[in-house]
């Protein structure tokens, strides 16, 4: 069983892997025939780099079944995050569940940017209806992360969903530098959904922003 742990997944071993992966990452291939092009727009209305949609995830039967659907960028690869199995030892299951959880939400899906030529993930977290509204869930999500500073929150609406977005800096104890990160939350009848974009460093983060903005613009209730 393959399990990763929230935005705290960047342990020392992972950092080494990412550093090595950066040297080996290949450029993305040619666009697939028939793929649509979406120009990403940030919350301030500034139009960014055009990014091609690689399809929609979240619906029943998709690789990640979620309370929402959204488009992922071309060549990014989505994969469900598997919880601890019922047959695991109580101690192991408890440890795994804790690693997947950040604040009131739990990691359920990750979209890997490496096939598209970047080092980072767009990760999806979900919570129960009792986890609060989008703003409450997002603030608790950020508060559960270490080394955070300079948070800037703003509200947005997309696909009939009311959401809150945050930009902030996170100081890594392993890399001894600050990097930009971004997350958003929307409320659904099944509970809040959080999308988080990190990245190995600020440069990688900014290169992946069009994919994040594509996801935000295309968010819809499942």
User: Region 105-122: what's the mean pLDDT?
Assistant: 95
The answer as to whether 208 is a domain residue is yes
Residue 128 CB partners (closer than 8 Å, separation 6+) = 104, 191
Residue 89: count of CB within 10 angstroms of its CB: 9
- pLDDT of 7 reads 41
Is the pLDDT confidence value at 168 over 60?
yes
> Which range of residues forms the domain containing residue 180?
7-25+37-221
How does residue 146 score in pLDDT terms, banded at 50, 70 and 90?
A: confident
Residue-wise pLDDT tens digits, 193-207: 999 998 889 999 999
The answer as to whether 1 is a domain residue is no
The answer as to whether 54 is a domain residue is yes
- pLDDT of 172 reads 75
CATH code for the domain of 132? 3.40.1000.10
The answer as to whether 31 is a domain residue is no
- pLDDT of 96 reads 64
Is the pLDDT confidence value at 8 over 60?
no
Is the pLDDT confidence value at 6 over 90?
no
- pLDDT of 108 reads 96
Is the pLDDT confidence value at 222 over 80?
yes
The answer as to whether 125 is a domain residue is yes
The overall average pLDDT reported for the chain is 79
Percent of the chain with pLDDT over 70: 71
User: Region 37-47: what's the mean pLDDT?
Assistant: 41
How many domains does the structure of the chain reveal?
A: 1
The answer as to whether 30 is a domain residue is no
The answer as to whether 32 is a domain residue is no
How does residue 98 score in pLDDT terms, banded at 50, 70 and 90?
A: confident
The C-alpha atoms of residue 111 and residue 207 are separated, in whole angstroms, by 15
The answer as to whether 93 is a domain residue is yes
Q: Is 45 left (phi over 0), alpha (psi -120 to 50) or beta?
A: left
The C-alpha atoms of residue 131 and residue 190 are separated, in whole angstroms, by 10
Looking at 3-12, 21-30, 170-179, which range is the least confident one? 21-30
H-helix or E-strand spanning residue 210:
helix 202-217
Question: Which is more confidently placed, 213 or 131?
Answer: 213
Question: Which is more confidently placed, 86 or 155?
Answer: 155
């Amino acid at each position: 069983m393959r399990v990763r742990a929230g935005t705290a997944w960047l342990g020392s071993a992972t950092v080494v892997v990412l550093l090595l992966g950066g040297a080996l990452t290949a450029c993305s291939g040619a666009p697939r025939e028939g793929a649509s092009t979406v120009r990403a727009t940030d919350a301030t209305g500034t139009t960014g780099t055009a990014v091609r949609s690689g399809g929609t995830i979240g619906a029943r039967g998709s690789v990640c079944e979620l309370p929402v659907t959204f488009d992922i960028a071309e060549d990014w690869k989505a994969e469900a995050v598997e919880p601890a199995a019922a047959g695991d030892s109580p101690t192991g299951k408890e440890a795994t569940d804790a690693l997947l959880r950040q604040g009131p939400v739990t990691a359920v899906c990750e979209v890997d940017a490496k096939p598209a030529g970047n080092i980072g993930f767009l990760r999806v977290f979900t919570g129960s209806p009792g986890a609060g509204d989008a703003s409450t869930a997002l603030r608790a999500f950020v508060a559960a992360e270490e080394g955070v500073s300079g948070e800037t929150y703003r509200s947005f609406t997309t696909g009939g969903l009311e959401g809150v977005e945050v930009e902030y800096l996170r100081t890594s104890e392993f890399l001894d530098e600050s990097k930009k990160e971004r997350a958003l939350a929307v409320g659904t009848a099944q509970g809040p959904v959080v999308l988080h974009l990190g990245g190995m460093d600020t440069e990688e983060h900014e290169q992946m922003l069009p994919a994040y903005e594509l996801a935000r613009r295309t968010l819809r209730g499942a």
